[in-house]
Amino acid sequence: MNTYIIKEKAQWIHRAQKDLFQEFGIEYLPFTRKDFFYFFVIDRRKYVHKEALEFVYSNADTYSYRSDPVYCNLAKEYEIPDIVHFLENTESELLPPLVEATDNFLVYDYIPGKPVDSITEEEYNYLKDENTFMELTPFYNSMTYNLLRAEKLYLIDLKHFEERKDLPFFIYFYNYDNCINRLYTDKNADIDKIKDHLSVDYPVEDTEIIYY
């Protein structure tokens, strides 16, 4: 994690603590090893700080972990998605229930379950159906441990929503430490197009492909 992200992470935690106390009267001291901060989990509820999440989708995207970056995110021409408006208005069952939306927070029920790194054909079709009706999609990155299996699958990481591109639907799981590199897609999907997209960040030449 670079100095810029560390500094911004600390500032957003302090800002969110202040807003949490002002709106809910809750004093909370968090601890997280994650690069980006945008939520607290308190008493089985997830308090997503709106501005901290918006930061993840804007300024936080201006650096790269690559030692030899081939592009600069500052120079990309794109519109930052209005993630808060999207989350407040989407009716997708993929997201945990939204309990409350305040000036500074989106409050979700915290769903107990198990993070997943593989899916069944039935789950694949469920995710594909839910994705069809969403304005933004979360499925262009690795979904390893970002989906939770309870009575159904839920999306638990809100950092990965993107504007839709001309890509077939796919679910990709990658984790180096646990030797996971698996791609799920339709039988007639354009695999080369999917791999071209993923190859910017992932070693797709070794990917196991499962067709549903």
Which pLDDT score is estimated for 151? 92
pLDDT band at 73 (very low <50, low <70, confident <90, very high): low
**What is the mean pLDDT of the segment spanning 54-69?**
64
Q: 82: domain range?
A: 3-109
Residue 98 and residue 137 in one domain: no
Q: Does residue 137 surpass a pLDDT of 90?
A: yes
Residue 64 and residue 121 in one domain: no
Residue 27 and residue 88 in one domain: yes
Q: Does residue 125 surpass a pLDDT of 70?
A: yes
Residue 129 and residue 75 in one domain: no
**What is the mean pLDDT of the segment spanning 144-164?**
94
Which pLDDT score is estimated for 60? 58
Closest by alpha carbon to 127, among 175, 92, 89?
Answer: 92
Q: Does residue 35 surpass a pLDDT of 60?
A: yes
Which pLDDT score is estimated for 149? 97
**What is the mean pLDDT of the segment spanning 186-212?**
96
Q: Which of 109, 140, 168 is the last residue of a domain?
A: 109
**DSSP category for residue 96:** P
Number of domains composing the chain: 2
Helix (H, G, I), strand (E, B) or coil at 49: strand
Residue 44 and residue 131 in one domain: no
Q: Does residue 78 surpass a pLDDT of 60?
A: no
DSSP 78-89: -PPP-HHHHHHH
Q: Does residue 27 surpass a pLDDT of 70?
A: yes
Pairing, β 180-185 against β 208-211: parallel
Enter the pTM of the model: 0.86
Q: Which of 93, 109, 125 is the last residue of a domain?
A: 109
Residue 7 and residue 99 in one domain: yes
Q: Which of 94, 109, 124 is the last residue of a domain?
A: 109
Residue 97 and residue 7 in one domain: yes
DSSP 122-180: HHHHHHHHHHHT-SSBSTTSB-TTTEEESSSEEE---S--B---S---EEEEEETTTTE
| 81-124 pLDDT per residue, tens | 899 999 999 999 999 999 999 999 999 998 989 999 999 999 99
- CB-based contact 189:129 (threshold 8 Å): no
Average pLDDT over the chain reads 89
**What is the mean pLDDT of the segment spanning 31-38?**
82
Q: Does residue 64 surpass a pLDDT of 70?
A: no
Cα 174 to Cα 140: distance, rounded to the nearest angstrom:
12
Record the tokens describing residue 157, joined without a space.
């990481």
Across the beta sheet with 170-175, the strand order is 170-175, 180-185, 208-211
Which pLDDT score is estimated for 58? 80
